Amino acid sequence: MTAPTRPDPRAFRERLHAREPMIGTFMKTPGAHNTEILGGLGYDFVVLDAEHAPWDRGTLDTGLLAARAFGTAGIVRIGRPDATSILSVLDDGAIGVMVPHVDSAQKARDIVSWSHYKGGSRGLGIGRGGEYGARGTDHIPFADKTTTVIAMIEDRQAIDVIDEIAAVPGVDCLFLGRGDLGVSLSNATGPAPTLKEAVEIVGAAARKHDKPLAAVVPAMNSDEARWLISLGVTTMMVLSDQSFMRQAAAAALQDFNAAYGRAKV
């Protein structure tokens, strides 16, 4: 029996815009092994988290190679929203970038420019991202067609200008960063929407400007996931590699303690 053919990881942007349901997770552990495991299981994408985990240029390069080798789209959540950070991960073969704290239309325009050649300001590099020159003159149009730009909406001020952010051409997806957004809303000195209201405002802007929505959920069978799906979220992230390990390890330990009547330690 022939196994079903998996989509090419470089089709991630096309699948995103087609609103194809996709599932991924954050990679918090710098290295290749966890990405290989999750890619082998069939996860559509992984996000190497260079904002909150100790990834560096070398480990990102290895992690992106692992993603490509095991057929999953490798996205990088960059640590700093600047041209160099975006250029380096795209040259190393990232399918796209997830950019934290996009709180203005100008920042959205900047990250789009830094991510694209035509009409943008991306520097020409022919590494893994350019198939080491194998694509020849097709590299620039192919890269512009497949590179994905995901803007994280996670600030009170972003909600005020979400219509402007969502209208920026080249922003492929709005990511609901509900953790930081909740903190930012709680710190507001004046009137502010609730977190639920803010998420619904972002959802409305995404629908108005035909932008895909992405979000993190604790579990796909939760009421929270069903609510987000009703808002139009089709790209879901569940937990992280470390959360998966903790859950599985905790379950195994619980089974062991139950089998031997051992008190929880």
User: Does any domain span residue 132?
Assistant: yes
User: Does any domain span residue 87?
Assistant: yes
Residue type, 25: T
Q: What is the mean pLDDT of the chain?
A: 94
Taking residues 165-174, report their average pLDDT.
Answer: 98
Domain hosting residue 148, numbered range: 9-240
Q: Which residues are catalytic?
A: 52
Q: What percent of the chain has pLDDT over 70?
A: 98
Q: Tell me the pLDDT tens digit for each residue of 143-162.
A: 999 999 999 999 999 999 99
User: Does any domain span residue 260?
Assistant: no
User: Does any domain span residue 28?
Assistant: yes
Residue type, 210: D
DSSP 8-state class, residue 193:
-
Domain with residue 59: its CATH number is 3.20.20.60
pLDDT of residue 1: 43
The structure's pTM equals 0.94
Q: Which pLDDT band holds residue 2 (cuts at 50, 70, 90)? A: very low
| Contacts for 200 with CB less than 8 Å, ≥ 6 apart | 231
User: Does any domain span residue 252?
Assistant: no
pLDDT of residue 67: 97
Please say if the pLDDT value at position 170 is more than 80. Answer: yes
pLDDT of residue 265: 63
67 within 8 A of 35, measured Cβ to Cβ: yes
Instruction: Find, among 33, 122, 24, the residue nearest to 76 by Cα.
Output: 24
Q: How many folded domains does the chain comprise? A: 1
Q: Tell me the pLDDT tens digit for each residue of 219-243.
A: 888 899 999 999 999 999 999 999 9
Strand residues in the chain grouped as ranges (E): 22-27, 45-49, 73-77, 96-99, 148-153, 173-176, 213-217, 233-240
User: Does any domain span residue 263?
Assistant: no
* Cα–Cα distance for residue pair 207/210, rounded to 1 Å: 5
pLDDT of residue 4: 61
Three-class SS state of 9: helix
pLDDT of residue 78: 97
| Contacts for 181 with CB less than 8 Å, ≥ 6 apart | 153, 154, 155, 156, 158, 159, 195, 198, 199
217 has which bridge partners?
238
User: Does any domain span residue 104?
Assistant: yes
pLDDT of residue 134: 86
User: Does any domain span residue 4?
Assistant: no
